[in-house]
Structure 1
Amino acid sequence: MTPLLDAHDLTATFSGPTDGPPVKALRGVSLRVEPGEMVSIVGPSGSGKSTLLYCLSGLHPVTSGTVRLLGRDLSTLRRGQLARLRRGRVGFVFQAYNLIPALTAHENVALPARLARRSLSATDVDRALAQVGLADRGGHRPSALSGGQQQRVAIARVLATGPELVFADEPTGALDTAAGVEVLDLLRETASGARSVVLVTHDVTAAARADRVLVLRDGLVFRELVRPTPDEVFAGITDREKV
């Protein structure tokens, strides 16, 4: 089976403080994501979780190493080709929701397809909103929705376009427990068949919903856990053993 995501020996280095050494955010990370998988990435603050997500999705270039996203080597793609790949086949769910305040929930869900000049009917949008339990909120603007509802609109926006791979960066970080559970349920349901989800989170309970959990430390994969409990995820993060 061909993986949806195949990354090998990734490094990412950023300029440090003035006259200081460069910061090595990633120091040789390799991973694969198969169709139907949900993979969580966890680790202490500063371990490189979000940097890894951005590099895997093509939002940030790697310093070295290779990323094959949906069969395409990202290093060979021009900016326009990369943008088309992300718009057409990849979905993003972020903690900040990234909804347009002036647009209704219905219009926000339809927006990515409009920007990609893809056909998406009103019925398709309504179906996506119904999937996330917001069939009666399509005419509401973000300011009239709770945080959990806004995040569900963001997920509906992803579901409506039918991406093969969904990246989620701390999608429950700003939500209460009940709303967070709803969002995780939706992401878990999304990772099935030919579609997969890669989730970055600091929440051990959220991470444990995944098929596999990668524990990052100091820019390296410190441990890989298969269908762990929340306690096992916590132990993996807090283990003092050196990489």
Structure 2
Amino acid sequence: MVIEVDRLGKTFGDTEVLRGVSLSVAPGEFLAIVGPSGSGKSTLLYCMSGLEPATSGSVRILGTTLGTLSRGGLAELRRDHLGFVFQSYNLIPSLTARDNVALPARLARRGISGADIDRALAEVGLADRADARPSALSGGQQQRVAIARALALRPDVLFADEPTGALDTTAGEQVLDLIGKVVADGRSVVMVTHDLRAAARADRVLVLRDGVVHRELDHPDAAAIFTAMGD
């Protein structure tokens, strides 16, 4: 398994957000996590990816237990093996699309060629917008730049938190198509979303409720996910 989560718990003050969540993600699998607001789905993604420390339980990524890593080791794991896409695009306004894509590699002092950057932008259909700054791009285009940035270093796992949340239907479908290509390339995706049509693109859907896995669905359609959330 690429990811193994065992009895994961997370508490903020007196509030127990995650309560003994266990799950796994296989190579090349697309896992979607859905649930009502406050169910803990974004917290689960952050703990799974090492962006937030768990209170209890464990997470293993590519055979490495996150809790055993130093701060530097955790940063190295994220840098070398994980990609992230968020609802907020987190692009640097003063940089071009090309420079935004290159930035993580340069900050990590990892070599990335101009050809790799151009390939990443071409994969998201923005080869002709490489010199544009974020202010000159639509929301959908900015999200595609963010995806190109995440994919430029070919991560083993892509974590996506509400990647279509700020987009219209057409732009959202384009972004989901790109995420689907990540899976087709043999890499794994973990996506948190409130959009049931987006979740229906996944191989497997977990319905989270009150910090626990309420239901698990294989290749469901949006109607089946809606029903499972209401059960």
One-letter amino acid of the counterpart of residue 105, structure 1: A
Displacement after TM superposition at 1:159 (Å): 1.5
Task: Find out whether 1:198 has 2:196 as its counterpart.
Answer: no
Identity of aligned residues (%): 66
One-letter amino acid of the counterpart of residue 32, structure 2: S
Q: Which runs of 4+ in 1 moved over 2 A?
A: none
One-letter amino acid of the counterpart of residue 97, structure 1: Y
Displacement after TM superposition at 1:188 (Å): 1.0
Displacement after TM superposition at 1:193 (Å): 4.6
Distance 2:178 2:72 in 1: 30
Give the aligned partner of residue 167 of structure 1: 159
Per-residue CA deviation, residues 209-238 of structure 1 (Å, 9 max, x unaligned), is 000000000000000000001100111112
Would the aligned equivalents of 1:152 and 1:183 in 2 still touch at CA under 8 Å?
yes
Per-residue CA deviation, residues 165-197 of structure 1 (Å, 9 max, x unaligned), is 000000000000000000000001101354100
Q: Secondary structure at the match of 2:129?
A: coil
Would the aligned equivalents of 1:37 and 1:192 in 2 still touch at CA under 8 Å?
no
Distance 1:160 1:193 in 2: 14
Q: 2:5 aligns with which of 4, 7, 13?
A: 7
Task: Find out whether 1:95 has 2:87 as its counterpart.
Answer: yes
Task: Find out whether 1:57 has 2:49 as its counterpart.
Answer: yes
Q: Secondary structure at the match of 2:126?
A: coil
Distance 1:43 1:89 in 2: 27
Q: What is the number of residues matched between the two proteins?
A: 231
One-letter amino acid of the counterpart of residue 104, structure 1: T
Q: Secondary structure at the match of 1:136?
A: helix
TM-score, normalization by structure 2: 0.99
Give the aligned partner of residue 68 of structure 1: 60
One-letter amino acid of the counterpart of residue 2, structure 2: L
Unmatched runs of 5 consecutive residues or more in structure 1: 16-21
Q: 1:189 aligns with which of 181, 184, 187?
A: 181
Q: Secondary structure at the match of 2:220?
A: coil
Would the aligned equivalents of 1:35 and 1:193 in 2 still touch at CA under 8 Å?
no
Please provide the CA RMSD for this pair: 0.7
Would the aligned equivalents of 1:39 and 1:213 in 2 still touch at CA under 8 Å?
yes
Displacement after TM superposition at 1:118 (Å): 1.3
